[in-house]
Structure 1
């Protein structure tokens, strides 16, 4: 299942090639970095690290997919930044107990590997961006050891209510069998977990990063003094051709509205970064819903400035 209809959860699974193996091996040989891999995460730790970047994958993907689609490890290690690639990949939203559990797991990762709790940045692609926003907010709100200096997303489906409504439109349009099947799956999943919005949207507001219909950003309120970046590539022509989506049905629309609402409510460190023709998969396929819309060099500058 690809879920290209929303550009919300998945990216296409491609083969994982470690193009940075020689560079990393040289650094490992000089004892400048160490790597850890297990079922929950992969870590590339730099000696005397200047900061730590934590990355969450899209729905159904893993650390190896993040590494393949977002080749940032070699650059990060050269800049003196450690990288944690999470395997947490089955959530587009987090309930309170899930936030607490994930936050505890991340603190344990830092403590076990003796990572500094200074200069931590958290980000993710697609559903991983939602997770980054929600757990980042939890860290600040709960006064955890982890206090992220910045949080960022890559074309994430930040408004769950809007996703549901878009899926209903897609089913009615009947643009393609794939689009209809994917939309029916999402509607069914949300109905099971959150109930139908026709019966009230409270459960959606409780777990969604943003609800445009009501201007609700309660789940991000603790990030008011945290740096936030919102990356998206609003290629209207591409989405119209691929899945008959208008701008108002794209992640880019909800992300733009989120940026406006955050600034309206006094968030002073919010950047909306709308790219053009940057979205390409590792296999060369053109797709605006891709890790590649995030400029790696600029991201490192943002972390280290």
Structure 2
């Protein structure tokens, strides 16, 4: 959802007044390579079905992998760490943007055997940092702690919509000119 919202703001002629995203994957080159690495490092070579899906879907959408079709990965990614000309994010230089993340690395290590290369927090912070350097002072990273519980059973999971303070987000959205 969040990746699509940001891509919409980048590419559509009718611009939103503001955009928010909750722990979105932003750099699909990183996402692809991370999925490949996760499969390589998986216990007993049992690949996570989600990683297999991600790789297949990205190869279908781009016509290949990042080594052979990098320009296509730049095109579909809201943000690309390796895109030194910042092609896509320059389009966000005047749009208020909030990105929420809860990078509970200890949870990821223990529960999923994942590290920072497998989570979205790094590219979320990198994109906000680059937007700030491009002059967008309304691009903000909101990092939460201990807010991530999935409904309906309140299971802990840092990649959850519950990291957002809904009332505060609505107040921010309504304040946008």
Q: TM-score, normalized by length of structure 2?
A: 0.89
User: What are the residue-to-residue correspondences of 1:140-219 with 2, within 5 Å?
Assistant: 142=13, 144=14, 147-175=15-43, 179-194=47-62, 195-215=64-84, 217-219=86-88
Aligned to 1:304: 174
Per-residue CA shift, 1:85-112, capped at 9, x if unaligned?
A: xxxxxxxxxxxxxxxxxxxxxxxxxxxx
Q: CA deviation at 1:208?
A: 0.7
> Which residue pairs with 2:11 in the alignment?
138
2:163 to 276, 283, 293: 293
Deviation at residue 254 of structure 1 after TM alignment:
1.2
Instruction: Please give the alpha-carbon distance, in whole angstroms, between the structure 2 residues aligned to 1:176 and 1:159.
Output: 28
SS for the counterpart of 1:266 is coil
Question: In 1, distance between residues paired with 2:89 and 2:5?
Answer: 11
SS for the counterpart of 1:189 is helix
Structure 1 residues 247-270: Cα deviation after superposition (integer angstroms, max 9, x where no partner):
232111111111111112222211
SS at match of 1:190: helix
Q: Distance in 2 between matches of 1:267 and 1:150?
A: 12
1:249 is aligned to 118
Partner residue in 2 for 1:115: none
Structure of larger gyration radius: 1
Secondary structure of 1:276's aligned partner:
coil
Is the alpha carbon distance of 1:182 and 1:162 closer, same or farther for their aligned partners in structure 2, counting shifts above 3 Å?
Answer: same
Deviation at 1:219, TM superposition (A): 2.5
Q: 1:224 aligns with which of 93, 104, 107?
A: 93
**Distance (whole Å) between structure 2 residues aligned to residue 291 and residue 200 of structure 1:** 32
SS in 1 for 2:48: helix
Q: Could you say which structure has the higher helix fraction?
A: 2
Work out which structure has the larger RCO, using CA pairs closer than 8 Å and 6 or more positions apart in sequence: 2
Give the secondary structure class of the aligned counterpart of 2:126.
helix
Question: What is the distance in 1 between the residues matched to 2:44 and 2:20?
Answer: 33
1:278 aligns with 2:151: no
Q: How many residues align?
A: 173
Deviation at 1:178, TM superposition (A): 6.2
Give the 3 Å change call, closer, same or farther, for CA 190–252 of structure 1 in structure 2: same
Cα distance 1:175–1:258, how it changes in 2: closer, same or farther (>3 A)? farther
CA RMSD of aligned residues (A): 1.8
Deviation at 1:176, TM superposition (A): 6.5
Distance 1:203 1:287 in 2: 31
